[in-house]
Chains A and B, each alone.
Chain A
Amino acid sequence: MYTDKVMDHFQNPRNVGEIPDANGVGEVGNASCGDIMKIFLKVEDNVIKDVKFKTFGCGAAIATSSMVTEMAIGKTIDEALELSNQAVAEALDGLPAQKMHCSNLAADALHEAIKDYKARQQAG
């Protein structure tokens, strides 16, 4: 039911963990639906230098989290804000239909982390 790319990212997830001095952290999902994604960002000069994730969820949730970190690293925060859940799913050669709405939240988590980064910058 999962593509080879999904299984690869599930079995060998990239960028798992936390960034201790992250300057942007975002979390989406909730326990009741079975998916929680947390993204840690290190942004320098508006460019995402490092991304790490922690995810509670199914195979699709872990694979999309892993994929979004790969896609975000090196992008400016404006570019990263244009990354969509759909684009993450496409980069994984697609997800099963029933996973598209519940477990495909990685880009949302990334956007939340960027929002947090921006808020922290404004707060000074």
Chain B
Amino acid sequence: MKQIYLDNNATTPVHPEVLEAMLPCYRDQFGNPSSVHWAGRAVAGAVEKAREQVASLIGASPAEIVFVSCGSEGDNMALKGTVDALRDKGNHIITTSVEHPAVLETCRYLEKTGCEVTYLPVDRDGMLDLAQLEAAITEKTILISVMWGNNETGNIFPIEEIGKIARKYKVRFHTDAVQAVGKVPVDVKAAGVDMLVLSGHKIGAPKGVGAIYIKRGTRLTPLMHGGHQERNRRAGTHNVAGIVGLGKACEIAGRDLEKNAAHMRRLRDKLEEGIRKNVPQIKLNGHPDPAMRLPNTLNVSFAFIEGESLLLNLDMYGIAASSGSACTSGSLEPSHVLGAMCVEVTLAHSSTRFSLGPNNTEEEIDYVLDVLPKTVQRLREMSPLYNCSNEEQCETCETIRRI
């Protein structure tokens, strides 16, 4: 059976060049980069080369890059480390209601420890009102945390403008750029961010490695205490192979960025147009202008059907996608992102995210566009919400039609 992978916002396959770069670290280059002897020296250079590769992709200096184990660790470090380091300045954080759980749940935890958090709302397209952001800043505000690109809708937030606001009020600015890096140009200096988090496995490196950019001079309490690795910013023996892989993946991401983004955008737009043309009663979730979304992301709700059953059906055809339905979120609630966008609840349950990668082909998109309409129709035929005969009495249909 064909295998079509359209879930690259969840994770990506390891790039062959990345794997090639990593393999020596699992063979003869086994040393600990903190050791002075030949075994340590053999890999210390590799770690520093990776640091340069990561820094170069986002316009940072190598000394401003700290390797971590994943995006969640980076976000935790940025938030908790700031709250601890700036305790004397204030306790107020401004973030958005559509952040990744790595930021949202960390904020909820910090609220329990005495922080105050403003969760900025978004409009129906999932975008922020910057006037509202500016108005939320108080004397106690120590941090603004806004993601660069949203993992569910692909919406790109105006990071440079937020950076300007943050500088105007001298508030520290953190961005979770896990979904943006490698898909859109990211320059920490131009954006005016103080901290930026990226993750390896979203860009063709393996799972278990990420990095945080910490602008020079930023006071940040470490999350992990112990040895002197990473200039005392992050203790723990280096994940040498992972770090080397992340470095290589960043080099490739920078090298192929334009080509890959154009390729993914063309196929994503084709998929979007194809769905609009061939499947009635759908709702696009996210900014209506595809240019305002990450070039690889498309989030669509198919009215009257539930997301998980659609995913299982697509999986039968070898198509891998993801959903914002409660059944796939591990909770009883559908996606908090779609909830924040006031997407009607049955439509939120039916939301389906297609996130492309550089390896997807035109033929694959054609295949999806062939399979999808009949799969949606098959599930609609089974749905009590579809073609309700007693329409006036059917409250559920009413709520769907309101959108």
Residues in chain A within 8 A of chain B (CB atoms)? 2, 7, 10-11, 13, 16, 27, 30-38, 54-62, 98-99, 102-103
Contacts and interface: CB of A to CB of B under 8 A. Distances in A.
A38 B384 CA distance: 7
Contact of A102 (B312, B326, B384): B326
Contacts of A56: 304-306, 346, 383-385
Contacts of A35: 306
Given A10-B309, A34-B334, A34-B346, 19 more contacts: A13-B382, A16-B381, A34-B325, A34-B349, A35-B306, A37-B384, A54-B382, A54-B384, A56-B383, A56-B384, A57-B306, A57-B309, A58-B309, A58-B325, A59-B309, A61-B309, A62-B382, A102-B327, A102-B332
B345 interface: yes
Contact of A55 (B307, B332, B349, B382): B382
B73 interface: no
Contact of A36 (B307, B309, B312, B385): B385
B346 A11 contact: no
Nearest to A99: B327
30 contacts: A2-B312, A7-B312, A10-B309, A10-B312, A16-B381, A31-B385, A33-B332, A34-B325, A34-B326, A34-B327, A34-B334, A35-B306, A36-B384, A36-B385, A37-B384, A55-B382, A56-B304, A56-B305, A56-B306, A56-B385, A57-B306, A58-B308, A58-B309, A58-B325, A58-B327, A60-B327, A62-B309, A102-B326, A102-B332, A103-B327
Interface in B286-319: 304-309, 312, 316
Q: B interface, how many residues as a size bin?
A: 20 to 34
Contacts of A57: 306, 309
B396 interface: yes
A54 B383 contact: yes
A35 B326 CA distance: 10
Contact of A61 (B306, B332, B346, B396): B306
A45 B64 CA distance: 80
